[in-house]
Amino acid sequence: MSKKQKFPYLLGSKWTSQKKIDGWRHFQVINRKNQGKWVYAEMVASCDSTVRFWMNAKLLQDRSIWQPSWQSLQEMAQIDHENSC
């Protein structure tokens, strides 16, 4: 029996960072890398393909850092408000 792949839908997924990274908030996963028990995602800014970095894919599960899909500032403020109530 083969092992279940961690983060099977990672490639091509879109994310919004709660804080700007090199001036940008919207990123897409363009590559993945498995290293032992860790899975890494290569992120690229949607508006500037020169802004890219590798990160532990597990960090994408932390909603205080990343939101799935591309969120507007208004949507992010609403999410923050809902989480603080």
Per-domain residue ranges of the chain: 14-84
Q: What is the pLDDT of residues 4-43, one digit of tens each?
A: 677 778 999 999 999 999 999 999 999 999 999 999 999 9
- Confidence (pLDDT) at 45: 97
Specify the pLDDT at position 78: 73
- The pLDDT value recorded for residue 14 is 97
- Between CA 70 and CA 64 the distance in angstroms is 15
pLDDT over 70 percentage in the chain: 87
Q: How confident is the model at residue 44 (pLDDT cuts 50, 70, 90)?
A: very high
Confidence class for position 84, pLDDT limits 50, 70, 90:
low
Classify the phi-psi angles of 41: left when phi > 0, otherwise alpha if psi is within -120 to 50, otherwise beta. beta
